[in-house]
Copies of this chain bind each other. A is one copy, B any other.
Amino acid sequence: MTLETARKELITLQEKLSAYDHAMGLISYDGETTAPKGTAPNRAHAMGILSEILYQLSTGKETVDLLEFLDAHREELTPREQRMVYLLLKDIRFMQKIPQEEYVEYEKFVVESQDVWYNAKNSSDFSSFEPYLTKMFDYAVRFARYAAPEKDPYDFWLNEYEPGLNKAVCDQFFDTLRQRLVPLIHAVSGQPQVSDACIKGDFPEDKQEKLALWLMETMGLDMQKVGLSTTEHPFTTSLGSHLDERITTHYYREDVSYSMFSVIHEGGHALYDTGSDEDLAYTVLDGGVSMGIHESQSRFYENILGRSEAFAKFVFPKMAELFPEQMKDYTWKDFYLAVNKVQPSLIRTEADEVTYCLHVMIRYELEKKLMAGELKVRDLPGEWNRLYKEYLGVDVPDDKHGVLQDSHWSFGAIGYFPSYALGSAYGAQFLAKMKETVDVDAALAKGDFSPMNAWNKEHIWRFGSLLTPKEILDSALGVPFDPAYYLNYLEEKCKAIYHINN
């Protein structure tokens, strides 16, 4: 094999992988959006076969030889090629350690598990999901042991979602947050409360959809490439390339803000993915690099921009146009306060910015114990409810509004949740840096996202997965990551809203 041939084959291999990504990603997306409800077995069958083919392609001699040859000639490759080889080898070495049969069984199991979770959530019946979740945590432990026998299994998965992350880092990070968030929440509770009446009521779905599409356009998404569907739990998926991205939402008639902010959140993910440099298409460098950086973008758009005073002022006339009856007694200020009301609550995706991280910490504590075998899945609902009472002071009425609310565990995303908190903190520090050169509030007041999008594109999006999370943070920020920016941002915003004096 010559180096020139190998370099060409490196591209061909990634194109093949991207086609399987497209196909398998679409089968999964279809299952959550459009597929008839009784078709999970058929989907699992197809996924089993495709994952077997993919496993053989990935771990086959031809592929391994190619990548090892390129790895041996690392010095002669471009940085881009080096990164491709690194990421491909990382994936393939992980796959190689899992027996093919188990890998295939797992891929089929994920399809079934998502289906069972969906039904369990809708009937608030944890017992039907329990055996699946038990098996899912078993898989997580076993696969981590295959991949890195020397490592703590939960540390392994934390690092998969955000390279560099582990329990020690998480513990410290969450401690830092806790020290200032808990007093802040206490301070808020001692103040006169704000009303969220203007976002509650009856908001027809078709109007909410119009709002969603308008928000997507406003935030600068390319509507020719980014689609919107509805699902039980909102998510974003990229179909094999940054050239076709799908976001989803869920409309609740009684609360206009849920879909609204989930669309801006998922839209942030989509901006990041579709913002990859054009020439990364159909390579493993296409799309976001880690869940931490991904959530830094989604949470940035959802909260830092989406729940800002300037944007509330801009967006309110549109709300009044779409919902004239519902909004007739309110002003933009009422809307701003409503979407920033700090209130311990049951559902993570509906939580305000200040209590949000407590929802994440609960999941982190539970995952830690489950992965260590210190908590059994059958005892999870009780422990969930206990922690919601302890951290947030709320009583969980049923598992639908408790342990079954999030879809993540149903598809094996264990170790993902901390990324939400970490990403939120990254985002606040990005904001501080961005403000050195961009008048964010002036742009938001006009509903013009282009200066912020340009900054994010320049410092984050365009790299796709070329740079590591740490390289992105370092090069974008110029100083080390520090959660103090996030806590300062939250305190400042919250104190203004609740008239808290230091």
Contacts and interface: CB of A to CB of B under 8 A. Distances in A.
Contact of A240 (B42, B223, B227): B42
B22 A27 contact: yes
Contacts of A244: 35-36, 39, 42-43
A41 B243 CA distance: 8
Copies in the complex: 2
A180 interface: no
A328 to B, nearest CB: 26
B222 A49 contact: no
Contacts of A37: 224
A247 to B, nearest CB: 10
Interface in A1-50: 15-16, 18-19, 22-24, 26-27, 30, 33-39, 41-43, 45-46, 49-50
Question: Range of interface residues on chain A?
Answer: 35 or more
B22 A46 contact: yes
A229 B34 contact: yes
Contact of A239 (B19, B42, B245): B42
Contact of A243 (B18, B39, B222): B39
Contacts of A229: 34
A241 interface: yes
Nearest to A241: B42
Given A23-B23, A27-B22, A30-B30, A240 B46 contact: yes
A248 to B, nearest CB: 11
A413 interface: no
Contacts of A239: 39, 42, 46
A301 interface: no
Contact of A27 (B26, B50, B225, B282): B26
A18, A39, A240: most-surrounded residue (chain B CB, <10 A): A39
A239 B45 CA distance: 11
Given A23-B50, A49-B15, A53-B16, A42 B243 contact: yes
A27 B34 contact: no
Interface of A: 15-16, 18-19, 22-24, 26-27, 30, 33-39, 41-43, 45-46, 49-50, 53, 222-227, 229, 239-241, 243-246, 282
